[in-house]
A and B are shown apart, each in its own frame.
Chain A
Amino acid sequence: MEKKSPLKIENLVKKYGAFTAVDSVSFEMKPGEIFGLLGPNGAGKTSIISCIVTLQEQTSGRIEVFGHDCQKETKLAKAAIGFVPQELINHGYFSVEEILHFHSGYYGRSNNTERIHYLLDKLALFEHKDKKVKALSGGMKRRLLIAKALVHEPELLLLDEPTAGVDIELRTSLWDFVEELRKDGLSILLTTHYLEEAEELCDRVGILQRGQLKKIGPTAELIKELTQREIMIKVSRELESIQHAHLIEQEGQHLKFRVPSDKGVGDLINDLGLDLNLVMDLSIKEGSLEDAFLSILGGDVQ
């Protein structure tokens, strides 16, 4: 049997009054992939996630989680999802371990100590398990949110800006953990405005702008398609001024070109008719997702 898509969104629209936060967005995730939703603040990333977990009511469209309609088969859809919200949550009365036990119960798991201890250990919270949430640091609270999302071994993990306001050390360890989860077969949707994060983790990304999905595709391909590489050549003697479409700078012995990502160095040197013996040094800077992002969004990045 073919595996059902972890998440299928069709023509999702979310309006707040007259404001359209999500404008007819459609995409489908593949089993086991990490899919990134990218966009500047206010692009509609959190609204999409909120509709999936029913924190917001969608205006129209259809969301399916492993074939279960989020509005009609809510329980089955929710049972398959682990959700890590963007904002930290406090819990007034209970300790870390108690919270995880209640949370397991909500997902129908009454004796879940083994899994809870595994997650506490994995997320370096074990020694804090008897503390109340308000006694935890921000980073620990963030990890508790992740533990909560994973107590019931979900098949689809939704991470809403998982590393917003997180220090570099924790960010790296979270990335490693996400990679590990993917290896276990979990499908992961994450929203981020850190492009580095998307580049590092995501198999595919969708770029959102003002509620619309502008571009979707494998991360590497998007970068290739939308970015340019910079090629710097140092030659052994000063050349007379060069005329070339991709030349952006010529200063003494240094030449700098910006070429489409699919153009090779050899092609460029051939174009120039440059004697290879003159080339002293050569360096290439590949385009980043940031460049791709900017080329899609134009000046709309805050």
Chain B
Amino acid sequence: MKKTSDLTWTPFFSLYKRELNRFLKVIFQTVFTPLITASLYLLIFGVSLGKSITLSSGLSYLSFLIPGLVMMSVLNNSFQNSSSSVVSGKFSGDLEDLRVVPLSVSQILWAMSIGGLTRGFMVGSITFFVGQVFHYVVIGELLSVEQPLVLLFFLIIGGLSFAQLGIAVAFWAKTFDQMSAVGAFVLTPLIYLGGVFFSIESLHPFWKSLSYFNPMLYFINGVRYGLLGQSDVEPWMAAGISLLALCGFYFLARFVLKKGHYSRW
């Protein structure tokens, strides 16, 4: 008699495990490289330049910068994980496997986006840890987390959103160039301009009102509120818009997984 097979959880966890192992196999590149980047940002902006920056809220610039960098790590790495999984699958041809095996669109979508979120979380935590070290050395105390649940909420929403966006972009891309163009010309500017390094209060009114159309602003300020208890945007508004963004990215990813091509480049 054939063994019975569970087609619900086993396939899902197998794909999740693959997504996890994929980046853990190249952990140096996927986790430790971002660690260096975060340390450099903290050293140059937080410590050196930060001394000459005063914020209206009375916070030190280093404290202000840490939540921004944490969220930037989460968003970038969640996006990276799912998109590079899809792109390398297209390159080697094993993306077809996902279509042929009994995995549903939902299973692929959630396994990949939770995989991306996991990497985002790991790198985000490392960034936070390094930030704490800097904070302790420079200011003499650790940064306390004001609203842990709010922080968690925004990290999860942001990570899932960007992992799903990663799936969508990677399915759409026809070449590696297109893939990196999206990163360089769309995502990085939006993240940087979303208030990782500065408060939009300090912007010219025109740029300030334009910033409200950037969904990254809400992700980043949500995390900032969770960590520091204050931000440029009302937390409820940030939560609402972040959830809306997640829905948008979710349906986008669902659409491409259903209709997109799984064939090799």
A interface with B by C-beta (< 8 Å): 53-55, 74-76, 78-79, 81, 83, 85, 87-94, 98, 101-110, 148, 152-153
Contact = CB atoms under 8 A, between A and B. Distances in A.
B174 interface: no
A89 B94 contact: yes
B26 A107 contact: no
B147 interface: no
Contacts of A103: 97, 101
B255 interface: no
Contact of B10 (A83, A91, A108, A153): A108
B94 A90 contact: yes
A108 B94 contact: no
Interface residues of B, number: 34
Pick the 9 closest A-B CB pairs, nearest first.
A105-B14, A108-B5, A106-B101, A90-B92, A89-B93, A78-B102, A75-B102, A108-B10, A79-B102
Contacts of B98: 106
A282 B38 CA distance: 88
A170 B88 CA distance: 29
Interface string B87-119: 010011110111111111000000000000000
A81 B262 CA distance: 18
Nearest to B16: A105
Interface of B: 2-3, 5-8, 10-11, 13-15, 17-18, 21-22, 25-26, 88, 91-94, 96-104, 262-264
Nearest to B7: A108
A55 B101 contact: no
A85 B94 CA distance: 11
A91 B264 CA distance: 12
B10 A102 contact: no
B263 A55 contact: yes
Nearest to A57: B259
A289 B38 CA distance: 68
Given A104-B14, A107-B101, A108-B10, 10 more contacts: A76-B102, A78-B102, A79-B7, A87-B93, A89-B92, A93-B25, A98-B21, A106-B11, A106-B15, A108-B5
A101 B14 CA distance: 8
A55 B102 contact: no
B242 to A, nearest CB: 32
**A89, A101, A103, A106 pick with most chain B CB within 10 angstroms:** A106
A109 B5 contact: yes
Contacts of B94: 89-91
Given A87-B264, A89-B92, A93-B21, A105 B7 contact: no
Nearest to A54: B99
**B2, B97, B103 pick with most chain A CB within 10 angstroms:** B97
A93 B89 CA distance: 10
Contacts of B2: 153
A275 to B, nearest CB: 65
A78 B100 contact: yes
Given A55-B262, A83-B100, A106-B101, A90 B22 contact: no
A105 B10 contact: yes
A109 B99 contact: no
A79 B5 contact: yes
Given A89-B93, A102-B18, A105-B11, A75 B104 contact: yes
Contact of A74 (B88, B91, B96, B102): B102
A16 to B, nearest CB: 12
Contacts of A153: 2-3
A92 B88 contact: yes
A74 to B, nearest CB: 7
Contact of A109 (B3, B96, B100): B3
**B13, B88, B96, B98 pick with most chain A CB within 10 angstroms:** B96
Contacts of A79: 5, 7, 102
A103 B15 CA distance: 9
B10 A110 contact: yes
Given A106-B11, A153-B2, A85 B102 contact: no
Contacts of A76: 102
Contacts of B11: 105-108
Nearest to A81: B100
